[in-house]
Amino acid sequence: MKGTTEGSPPTAGRRRHKAWLAIVGLGLLTATSVPSQEPVRVGVVDLDVIVAATAGGQELRAKMAAMEERYRSEEKRLRDDVAQLRGRLTDESSNGPLPEGRAERQSRLEVAERELRRLGEDRELEARRIEEAALPAVRVEIEPVFERLQREHGYDLILDRAPGVVLLVGEVADITEIALGLLEEAR
């Protein structure tokens, strides 16, 4: 699928950084909005690709991958514990009278399930913090690129190609390659 990159931030993260970066676009629009009879020139970029091409985006991807690896191992341990406890409790309930310690195992199962849910919440919170810390550096890199696209290529409006945001995009309107070229020039 066009626009998806291996190792790109999680979907929720992409939505967050896209919403945040949309504010940059609004600032650019208001800087030069002048009533005119001329047609509006609209360009579309794949913001995931642009962000991934920045040094800040690459650093973000590396930090997110490291965080995911940490959480993945802990999640596997907790899921294994939950599965083992459930299996044992199921076996006990189908084999006649309830053995001693069943209440304790049931309690341990509930604690492990709570820890698993909390781990997911902690993962999302940490991902949000990592993204929020990285976005200023990304913004510094891409804001001048969008300003140049507007100034040098005459775009009045630049949209993200995100599904649900843009309903239809012709290839002529996709200026991602031009934006990548300008980003490379800026380095």
Domain ranges for the chain: 11-186
Q: Name 45's bridge partners.
A: 160
Residue 90, pLDDT score: 83
Distance CA 183, CA 187 (A): 7
Query: Which distant-in-sequence residues (6+ apart) come within 8 Å of 69 by Cβ?
Result: none
**For residue 70, how many C-alpha atoms fall within 13 Å in the half-sphere facing its CB?**
11
Query: pLDDT at position 53, please?
Result: 93
- The pLDDT tens digits for 89-118 are 887 777 655 667 778 888 899 999 999 999
> Residue 143: pLDDT above 80?
yes
Lowest-confidence region among 24-33, 39-48, 54-63, 152-161: 24-33
Give DSSP secondary structure letters for 145-158.
Answer: HHHHHHHHH--SEE
Closest CA to 44 of 168, 177, 158: 158
- pTM score above 0.75: no
Residue 78 has pLDDT above 70, yes or no: yes
